[in-house]
Structure 1
Amino acid sequence: MQITTDRDVGSVTTSKCSAPLSRRALIGGAIAGGAALALPLPAMAVGVEWRLAIRNVHTNESVDAVFARSGRFVPAGLAELNHGLRDWRTGDTIGMDRRLLALLVSLRQKLELGGNCKIDLICGYRSPQTNAKLRARGGSHSGVASQSQHMLGKATDIVVPGVSLDRLRGAALALGGGGVGYYPRDGFVHVDTGRVRHW
């Protein structure tokens, strides 16, 4: 897949996280981020953008994409994120749950990180084949569910550079947007848009 460099579409980037947002930007972002989970996307204010920057730790690929603007999805940005969140083992993609993308934006805002701060991706979409192999392998993957939210495009396992796993977990729990799994031994936090629960 070709990754464009148009700022509105998505781009490969190597920039570091920006400084924390201003109080005004945080309040506006928190309102917009909360709206992502409670209201349909068209309720976004004019001029509001939702952007995600992710880096796959297995492939070292980075994607930085605007996926919604002024209440409308940006198809090219969604395509970039679907590719970036693909099953890196098989190359399979799925249309990721847009509520999950909004939840990740809200999580970044809750942590008071700049809009271009990359989230390190351990796992996004997981194909049924990959899920079955991980379940069969056991070990650190012994907690892999047979009907994993990853297979539905509704889950990610993530790390945020410079943010402790405890703080990341606490922010995810505070949002109440779905499931939150804490894996300190494996070094990541799981977030999904299934029912609200934690482990």
Structure 2
Amino acid sequence: MTKHSSLGFTRRGLLGAFAATTLTAAPTFSKAAGFLRGSGDIRRIKMYSGRTGEKLDMIYWIEGDYIADALKEVSHFMRDWRTNGVKKIDSRTIDIMAASHNLLDVSEPFMLLSGYRSPQTNAMLRSRSRGVAKNSLHMQGQAADLRLGSRSVSQMARAALACEAGGVGRYSRSNFVHMDCGPVRHWGA
């Protein structure tokens, strides 16, 4: 058995699932980078927003380089829909989302529930729920709350955890997974 079999993934399965996507090596991405050596030369993110009705299917990285205009478009797509505020989304978060999506082997786009949150939106959500952090990484453009109709919260969380590249929160009752590029950690059920 490989180290990742307890998560439902084998190293061979991970390498195969990542054939079309890669993650950059960063201090918190040591495992993900190891899985991706020799992988494909593009990175793609697919999402839609039930709040705005917008869809995004974007190649944002080609042959070792991020595409600045594509990253701007992703940031606009992941804006705070309540205030229309835009903040640059950290490319590491986009990489985690893309890698997790590839691991899940689905063509369905992620449903984006929350990307960037303005301090005002975060404070409003915090007043309604104790599950919202005061200093949420959403306010830094470093987190996303995502859902897939064809995969469970557990399946999505296992894929994100396999990357060992940031925070992963399971919100089973609300049917979404939080992914961020902060310290490697996990929570929820």
TM-score category (smaller protein): 0.7 to 0.9
Partner of 1:193: 181
Which of 52, 56, 60 is the aligned partner of 2:49?
56
Q: CA deviation at 1:161?
A: 2.4
Partner of 1:87: 80
Partner of 2:165: 177
| Cα 1:113/1:103, change in 2 over 3 Å | same
TM-score normalised by L of structure 1: 0.76
Amino acid across the alignment from 1:179: G
Please state if 1:144 is matched with 2:132.
Answer: yes
Partner of 2:124: 133
4+ residue runs over 6 A deviation: 43-47
Contact 1:44 1:70 in 2 (8 A): no
Q: What percentage of residue pairs aligned between the two structures are identical?
A: 36
Structure 1: unaligned runs, 5 residues or longer: 1-22
Q: Deviations over 1:164-185 (max 9, x none)?
A: 1111111112211111111111
Contact 2:79 2:117 in 1 (8 A): yes
Q: CA deviation at 1:160?
A: 1.6
Partner of 1:110: 103
Structure 2: unaligned runs, 5 residues or longer: 1-13
| Cα 1:130/1:109, change in 2 over 3 Å | same
Amino acid across the alignment from 1:84: F
Which of 17, 23, 40 is the aligned partner of 1:26?
17
Amino acid across the alignment from 2:20: G
